[in-house]
Amino acid sequence: MADISGLTPGRTVLMQGNEAIARGALEAGVSFAAAYPGNPSSEILQTLADSAEGAGIYAEWSTNEKVALEAAAAASYCGLRAMASMKQNGVNVAQDFICNLTISGSGPGGLVLVTCDDPGAISSTNEEDARFIAKLADLPLLEPSTPAEALAMMKFAFDLSEDIENLVVVRAISRLSHTRSGVVPGELAVGRPRPAWDPKRVITTIPAVPRHQVMKDKLAEAGGLMAAGPFNSYGGPDNPELLIIASGSSVLYAAEAIDILGVGRRVGLLKLGCTWPLDEKLLRKHLAATERVLFAEEVDPFIEDHVKSLYAQHAPELGIKRFYGKASGHTPAIGELSPGRLAAAVSEVLELGHQAVDPGYLERAVQSAGAMAAPREVGFCPGCPHRASYWAMKQVLAVDGRAGLVSGDIGCYTMGVLSTGFNRVNSVHCMGSGLGISSGLGKLGRFGFDQPVISVVGDSTFFHAALPGIVNARWNQADYLLVVLDNSATAMTGFQPHPGTGQLASGQAGAQVDIEQVCRSLGLDCRVADPYDLAATSDALYDALQQKGLRVLILRRVCALVQGRSGGHPYRMEIDPELCRGDACGCHRFCSRVFKCPGLVFDQALGQAVIDEVTCVGCGVCAQICPAGAIKALAKDQEAAA
């Protein structure tokens, strides 16, 4: 990311949605920003951290999203503008605090929560619409459609939060967070109050029921302020044949669908930037002017359901309407929308018979791509230590022979459920879930359960959500082996630092928290091995697997991409053509068929394994798996010396 504090006001720059959110916060005078990384939200905090010195703010990676929002709330209570940013899953983690915070209210400094949802699960293990947090916790909700609007909405959100003294939610989606377009930055805010908390002031949810009413009143006040704001707008004829109600990127898809179909005189577009509470007066006015309504939103029918409920209340005066959207099947109930999907929906409603392309072409293209474009499964990078770790686990569990299980969770190592992790991971849900599941499995022995259990957790996840699960297992004496896959980075989301690396969001040194020491302080047996050394790792795994109770093995080796940026790997790999006998070997192409590193492929013409010199990084692990010893790891420094 880059320092965006020094941008020239008024000069258009190409800005990513997440950078625009960060810039909007800086222009609003945010002082305190906290987050836990998670795509598509990660760039927001990193941009703020990179701009922190220039803008004079504080930005931190927190250990998880709940802690991030709590820390930001503290700044709000002391009069500073503050924010927390997260992906949809983070909202779940922070939910308990959110649902109490909304009753206590925020402080005199504006407090904004940014959630970046991921329709289509482009970089997620679930598809979830986090807008429901606004309904659940009675919080104002803003949904920007473009990076420029995201910047403007952030400024509006901080003002709104201060007006009602409650948290305000801004919801982006992947297609906004990771879209770049022209943005005109404004001036940065100057000056901020000195933070203080009057010791006589008690901020609490008690008494909860009367305060619940206060919360409702705040939401009603917010509704009035949002209705007066610039983010809801209508374009189209006075009495459209069809009204599209859209939010977020779907507003642009809808506009494009109208353009593609050439139905601008027949179809109206109501853009909603403020989606909770909905502006009922505006909606009633537009419902009265049309007979047909199509909803365009992602992912769930959040607006659709509420507009229908509003309509039910006012049906006698509004007359009969037809509604199209997720319930009717005109838009997909899952996954993303697109200009084409909306054009198809409008075409169906208006019976236009639109076709984006000649059906014959489409059929040929689908057939050709289907026959020739082999699926491209995601997997571990060349040199990834996780491939080596799972390789050792696979071998050891096979030798152990007791039908051992591996439970996992969220990080690059989630791909242990896929083929480059040898499909060795048996369950994946959310951050830290593998430890709870192992805690449960580890207590089933009394009922006759006799399968050994391994729980894998990454180094960043260890601090985010694993600690309560570990303590639970220690306390209740659950029987499982915890394997910490320590690659010294939050790799999946962009190599952010975490407590184990000791580095801060700013790049400066913080206090390092040592995973080994944490485990030992809990009274756990804890060993360390290097996954690149397959024999030593397998021995350590096998020994640990034979023990009882909760025990810990840390498999530590820095992420291959991080290593690549800091000097690279030590070897140049080579296949000895004399030793690789190809299909005559009897190994059935063991290296490429089973080990599956993209840097090691089988050359059909040559009839032998070959190293793909463009892809191979030289980690040396595959030299340990060839039954014929044909793969050689040649030390680069020795070659250079020779």
Partner 1 sequence: MKELAREPLDLVITGVGGQGNVLASQVLGRALLDQGYQVTVGETYGLSQRGGAVMSQVRVTRRGVLGPLIAENQATAIISLEPMEALRVLPTYGHPEVVVLTNDRPLQPLGVIAGQAEYPQPPKLRAAIEELCGRLYWLPATEEAMKLGAPILANVIMLGALAASGLLPIGAPEIEAALAEMFPDEKMAANRQALAVGQELVA
Footprint of partner 1 (CB under 8 A): 12-14, 16, 39-40, 118, 122-124, 146, 148, 174-176, 178-182, 249, 252-253, 255-257, 260, 338-341, 343, 356-358, 361-362, 364-366, 368-369, 372-381, 412, 415, 419-420, 492, 589, 592-594, 596-598, 600-602, 612, 614-615
Q: How far is the CB of 174 from partner 1 (least distance, A)?
A: 8
Measured from the CB atom, the residue of 84 and 255 that comes closer to partner 1 is 255
User: In angstroms, what is the minimal distance from the CB of 414 to partner 1?
Assistant: 9
3-state secondary structure of 412: helix
Contact indicator for 75, 195 with CB cutoff of 8 Å: yes
> What three-state secondary structure class fits 307?
helix
Cis amide leading into 210 (omega within 30): no
Cα–Cα distance for residue pair 323/13, rounded to 1 Å: 40
H or E element: which one contains 151? helix 147-164
Residues 170 and 21: beta-carbon distance below 8 Å: yes
Complex with partner 1: residue 549 or 568, whichever CB lies closer: 568
Q: In what order do the strands lie in the sheet with 242-246?
A: 233-235, 267-271, 242-246, 292-296, 322-324
CB of 365 to partner 1, least distance (A): 4
Contact 479, 550 (CB under 8 A): yes
Q: Between 161 and 249, whose beta carbon lies closer to partner 1?
A: 249
Shortest reach from residue 91's CB to partner 1, in Å: 18
Residue 367 C-beta: closest distance to partner 1, Å? 9
Pick the closer one to partner 1 by CB: 342 or 473.
Answer: 342
Residue 577, CA distances (Å) to 218, 516, 616 in order: 75, 43, 18
Considering the complex, state which of residue 182 and residue 607 has its C-beta at the smaller distance from partner 1: 182
Nearest distance from C-beta of residue 470 to partner 1, angstroms: 27
Residue 4 phi/psi, 5° resolution? -105, 10
Residue with smaller CB distance to partner 1, 217 or 639: 639
Beta carbon of residue 189, minimum distance to partner 1 (angstroms, whole number): 26
Among 454, 620, 608, which Cα is nearest to 544's?
Answer: 454
Could you give the CA distance from residue 361 to residue 8 in angstroms, rounded to a whole number? 48
Least Å from the CB of residue 256 to partner 1: 6
Half-sphere exposure of 442 (CA within 13 A, CB side): 30
What is 554-587 written as a DSSP string? EEE---HHHHHHTT--SEEEEE-TTT--GGGSSS
Residue number with CB closer to partner 1 (7 or 137): 7
Q: Measured from the CB atom, is 341 or 636 closer to partner 1? A: 341
Strand partners, 169: 113, 141
Give min distance, CB of 558 to partner 1, in A.
17
Nearer to partner 1, 377 or 525 (CB): 377
